[in-house]
Amino acid sequence: MHRDALPALLSIRRVPRLEMPMPLFLRLILAVQFLLGALPAFAQDAYPSRTVQVVVPYPAGGTVDPLVRIICDRLSRNLGQSFVVLNQPGAGGNTGTASVVRGAHDGYTLVASAAAIAINATYYRNLPFNVETDLVPLALIARFPMMFVAQPSLSVNSVSELVARAKQKPGDIAYGTTGNGVLDHLIAEKFKAMTGTDMLRVPHNGVAATFTGLMRGDINFFVVGSSAAQPFVEAKTVKPLAVTSATRSPQFPDVPTMEEQGFENFQMYGWAMLFAPTGTPQPIVEKLHDEIATTLTDPALRKLLADQGAESPALSLAQLRDYVHNEIELYGAIVRAGDIKAD
Point out the least confidently predicted range of 28-42, 148-162, 272-286: 28-42
pTM: 0.85
> Contact, 93 vs 121, CB < 8 A?
no
Average pLDDT over residues 46-69: 94
Instruction: Note the pLDDT of residue 40.
Output: 47
How much is the mean pLDDT over the chain? 89
Distance CA 74, CA 54 (A): 13
Question: What is the tens place of the pLDDT at every residue in 251-261?
Answer: 899 999 999 99
More confident residue, 63 or 296: 296
> Contact, 316 vs 286, CB < 8 A?
no
Instruction: Note the pLDDT of residue 29.
Output: 41
Instruction: Note the pLDDT of residue 43.
Output: 47
Q: Is the pLDDT of residue 81 over 60?
A: yes
Read out DSSP for 66-121? HHHHHHHHHHHHHHSS-EEEEE---GGGHHHHHHHHHS--SSSEEEEEETHHHHHH
Q: Amino acid identity of 146?
A: M
Question: What is the tens place of the pLDDT at every residue in 180-195?
Answer: 999 999 999 999 999 9
Q: How confident is the model at residue 45 (pLDDT cuts 50, 70, 90)?
A: low
Instruction: Note the pLDDT of residue 1.
Output: 46
Instruction: Note the pLDDT of residue 314.
Output: 93
Q: How confident is the model at residue 62 (pLDDT cuts 50, 70, 90)?
A: confident
